[in-house]
Amino acid sequence: MVLYRRNFLPGGTYFFTVTLIDRRSSLLTDNIDALRSAFRSARKERPFEIDAIVILPDHLHAVMSLPLDDANFVGRWRRIKGHFSSALLHAAAKIARHSSGELALWQRRYWEHTIRDEGDFARHVDYVHFNPVKHGHVRRVGDWPHSSFHRYVRAGLLPVDWAGEVSEGENAFGERAEGG
């Protein structure tokens, strides 16, 4: 068994991928207001900054920065996931349970990467913003509503047409789609 070690860096900036167990689910986008509320509640309890984020139907990507004296991103994700799960239960959403009775909503693990420098930060922010196009949800980054891309445009950091448009018959990387 491989021993996995997380890098806890006080004041660090991290890239995360957090996923639902059911990869066919659309619970995140179907309940976007509850997810936003979960983030707000968690930020009140344990402050953090969201540098970039995109919410897709079954997973999300985020670049998050922690306070200078704090490295506990695990507790923050626990609170975000917990607040969202509680909101769904309160709304009487049907959520499967494990044999232990624990909710079977979120994958237990998540991908985390410590941002090393400004170039690494820029690459991960670009990845976050381009992800809805990569997954085929939209043809232009600006067409996806659940993304910090719109905040970057309002702040003048990115143009509204950033990354262009994927043409019909192409995949998200500009290559001809199979059968196209």
Q: Over the stretch 32-63, which tens digit does the pLDDT of each residue have?
A: 999 999 999 999 999 999 999 999 999 999 99
Q: What is the pLDDT of residues 75-113, one digit of tens each?
A: 999 999 999 999 998 888 888 877 787 887 899 889 999
DSSP 62-88: EEEE--TT---HHHHHHHHHHHHHHHH
Residues 76, 148: Cα–Cα separation, whole Å = 19
Q: Tell me the domains of the chain and their CATH numbers.
A: 13-137 (3.30.70.1290)
Residue 103, strand partner residues: 97
pLDDT of residue 172: 54
Q: Yes or no: say if 18 and 59 are a contact pair by the CB < 8 Å rule.
A: yes
Residue 9: which of 95, 70, 87 has the closest Cα?
A: 70
For residue 147, the cross-strand partners are 54
Dist. CA 68–CA 113, nearest whole Å: 18
Is residue 133 within 8 Å of 97, Cβ to Cβ?
A: no
- CB half-sphere exposure, 78, CA atoms < 13 A: 6
pLDDT at 176 (0 to 100): 47
Lowest mean pLDDT, pick from 14-23, 51-60, 100-109, 156-165: 100-109
Mean pLDDT of 152-162: 97
**DSSP 3-state of 123:** helix
Structure tokens at 129: 């913003």
Strands, sheet with 59-65, edge to edge from the N-terminal-most edge strand: 49-55, 59-65, 13-19, 111-114
Residue labelled with tokens 């969202």 = 84
pTM: 0.88
Q: Name residue 15's beta-bridge partners.
A: 63, 113
